Amino acid sequence: MSRKLRLTALAGALAMGLVACGGSGAGSGSSAAASAAPADLTIGVSMPTQTSERWIADGKAVKDQLESKGYKVDLQYAGDDIPTQGQQVDQMITEGADLLIVAAIDGTALSSQLQAAADAKIPVISYDRLIRDTPNVDFYVSFDNYKVGVAQGTALLVGLGVLNKDGSKGTATGPFNVELFAGSLDDNNAAFFFNGAVDTLKPYIQDGTIVVKSGQTSIEQAATLRWAQETAQKRMEDLLTSSYNDGSKVAGVLSPYDGISRGIITALQNAGYGQGSPMPTITGQDAEIASVKLIDDGVQSSTIFKDTRTLAAQAVTAAEAFLQGKKPEANDTKTYDNGQKVVPSYLLPIQTVYKDDIQKVLIDSGYWTADEVAKGQAG
Ligand code: GAL
């Protein structure tokens, strides 16, 4: 329990006469903490960047949901700058945050801040990206990240016609030229996505259905620092120059995230794809609105939808449990070893979205409106 939480709990217990009479439950951490009013508790929410809509939506959803339960929220974005995030988290701690929810830029860069949090007994929830190399992370909320990769590899095969949507064998046999992109190596998720996708594609690479013409098949070669759109565009341009200047065409691109997909699309469009020659099959993740429009327009093939509203709700549920002195419920206690310990996790399900699924999965669920999809813009 943080100092403030302890004091608030003590005040609550005193007010109820529990301390004076030593009545049942007064001594247990949970009942004392439970009596701290949400209005007296502040939750620090540290998000990586506002350049991506998903993190804006995540921050807003977490803040709104916590505030609707009466908590105070200190929400900060770090502009994808590692020292800025460190300072913001430090400040949350010195200003007396009672709990932290953190989506790290670099999963290994917050150890000293989290030691300070542990010293002050502030519970830490790692949000979507696992914080690594510290024992001072108490819980992890995310999606099944390996399954995201499998879904991306599968969506690539479906787009190429090698598989049908129901998983049965499609009619296309290839060989197809495919290029592979990965996320930022300092984000623990990047390897989960890449491994899930490559494990799915491997048999098709081995039997020659898929050819990675550039030969760049390692995650280090495929990586995109900070998941940046411009970096992905530049790498796709370089790949076109180095490996496709003999008239051969790219048939598919594995992309782990919609922002990266948009960079890849720009490079391909600048090289004439989508006009003279068809757009390759391009995957994605996050159902960002600009990309949902590209899917609707037939430019991008698929995305993986991760409902940030449910992720935020899960983070709030876990936060409330900690603040009431309880342990949040985990549904995975094996997968997420952060180098120091296996962090108890709650993993949410994912959904692949092709053009045909936009209405049902994204519009009918209220995630985006039909108007937003048509404009390719939120709001
Ligand atoms: C990952 C996250 C993805 C995507 C990416 C880039 O950590 O799991 O959904 O958002 O960051 O922001």
pLDDT tens, position by position, 173-225: 989 999 999 999 999 999 999 999 999 999 999 999 999 999 999 999 999 99
The residue ranking higher by pLDDT, 276 or 32, is 276
Which is the closest atom of ligand 1 to the Cα of 49? 12
pLDDT of residue 379: 87
Kindly state the average pLDDT of the residues 324-346.
97
Residue 364: CB partners within 8 Å, gap ≥ 6? none
pLDDT of residue 338: 97
- Cα 319 to Cα 325: distance, rounded to the nearest angstrom: 10
Question: Considering only 13-22, 67-76, 167-176, 369-378, which range has the smallest mean pLDDT?
Answer: 13-22
CB of 293 sitting under 6 A from ligand 1 = no
- What separation in Å is there between the alpha carbon of 203 and the centre of ligand 1? 27
pLDDT tops 90 at residue 25: no
CB of 255 sitting under 6 A from ligand 1 = no
- Report which of 123, 40, 92, 44 is spatially closest to residue 326, judged by C-alpha positions: 123
Split at pLDDT 50, 70, 90, the class of 15 is: very low
Split at pLDDT 50, 70, 90, the class of 276 is: confident
Q: Are 152 and 252 in contact (CB under 8 A)?
A: no
Kindly state the average pLDDT of the residues 245-255.
97
pLDDT tens, position by position, 172-184: 998 999 999 999 9
Mean pLDDT of the chain: 92
pLDDT of residue 19: 39
pLDDT tops 50 at residue 18: no
Split at pLDDT 50, 70, 90, the class of 24 is: very low
pLDDT tens, position by position, 111-149: 999 999 999 999 999 999 999 999 999 999 999 999 999
pLDDT tops 60 at residue 264: yes
pLDDT of residue 14: 44
- Best of 189, 262, 305 to mutate for ligand 1, by most ligand atoms within 8 A of CB? 189
Kindly state the average pLDDT of the residues 323-328.
95
Over its C-alpha atoms, the chain yields an Rg (Å, rounded) of 23
- What separation in Å is there between the alpha carbon of 257 and the centre of ligand 1? 7
- Report which of 367, 353, 226 is spatially closest to residue 300, judged by C-alpha positions: 353
Q: Are 97 and 122 in contact (CB under 8 A)?
A: yes
Predicted TM-score of the model (pTM): 0.91
Residue 341: CB partners within 8 Å, gap ≥ 6? 135
- Report which of 319, 340, 318 is spatially closest to residue 331, judged by C-alpha positions: 318
Split at pLDDT 50, 70, 90, the class of 288 is: very high
CB of 286 sitting under 6 A from ligand 1 = yes
pLDDT of residue 20: 37
In three state form, how does the secondary structure of the chain look? CCHHHHHHHHHHHHHCCHHHHCCCCCCCHHHHHHCCCHHHCEEEEEECCCCCHHHHHHHHHHHHHHHHCCCEEEEEECCCCHHHHHHHHHHHHHCCCCEEEECCCCCCCCHHHHHHHHHCCCCEEEECCCCCCCCCCCEEEEECHHHHHHHHHHHHHHHHCCECCCCCECCCCCCEEEEECCCCCCCHHHHHHHHHHHHHHHHHHHCCCEECCCCCCCHHHHCCHHHCHHHHHHHHHHHHHHHCCCCCCCCEEECCCHHHHHHHHHHHHHCCECCCECCCEECCCCCCHHHHHHHHCCCCCEEEECCHHHHHHHHHHHHHHHHCCCCCCCCECCCCECCCCECCEEEECCEEEEHHHHHHHHHCCCCCCHHHHHHCCCC
- Report which of 256, 308, 337 is spatially closest to residue 128, judged by C-alpha positions: 308
Q: Are 102 and 9 in contact (CB under 8 A)?
A: no
- Best of 47, 193, 285 to mutate for ligand 1, by most ligand atoms within 8 A of CB? 285
- What separation in Å is there between the alpha carbon of 171 and the centre of ligand 1? 33
pLDDT tens, position by position, 50-80: 998 899 999 999 999 999 999 999 999 999 9
Split at pLDDT 50, 70, 90, the class of 17 is: very low
Share of the chain above pLDDT 90, in %: 89
pLDDT of residue 314: 98
Kindly state the average pLDDT of the residues 15-43.
53
Q: Are 116 and 321 in contact (CB under 8 A)?
A: no
- What separation in Å is there between the alpha carbon of 163 and the centre of ligand 1? 26
Q: What is the β-pairing status of strands 302-305 and 351-354?
A: antiparallel
Residue carrying structure tokens 């053009």: 355
pLDDT tens, position by position, 161-174: 999 999 999 999 98
- Best of 51, 286, 288 to mutate for ligand 1, by most ligand atoms within 8 A of CB? 286
pLDDT of residue 13: 44
For 23, what's the count of Cα atoms within 13 Å in the CB-facing half-sphere? 11
* Bond into 175 cis (ω within 30): yes
- What separation in Å is there between the alpha carbon of 54 and the centre of ligand 1? 8
Which is the closest atom of ligand 1 to the Cα of 128? 8
pLDDT of residue 22: 32
Q: Identify the structural domains of the chain with CATH numbers, from first to last.
A: 3-143+308-348 (3.40.50.2300), 145-285 (3.40.50.2300)
- What separation in Å is there between the alpha carbon of 341 and the centre of ligand 1? 22
Kindly state the average pLDDT of the residues 74-88.
97
pLDDT of residue 48: 97
pLDDT tops 50 at residue 30: no
pLDDT tops 90 at residue 5: no
- What separation in Å is there between the alpha carbon of 47 and the centre of ligand 1? 12
- Report which of 142, 115, 137 is spatially closest to residue 127, judged by C-alpha positions: 142
- Report which of 182, 144, 181, 178 is spatially closest to residue 162, judged by C-alpha positions: 178
Which is the closest atom of ligand 1 to the Cα of 145? 8
pLDDT tops 50 at residue 31: no
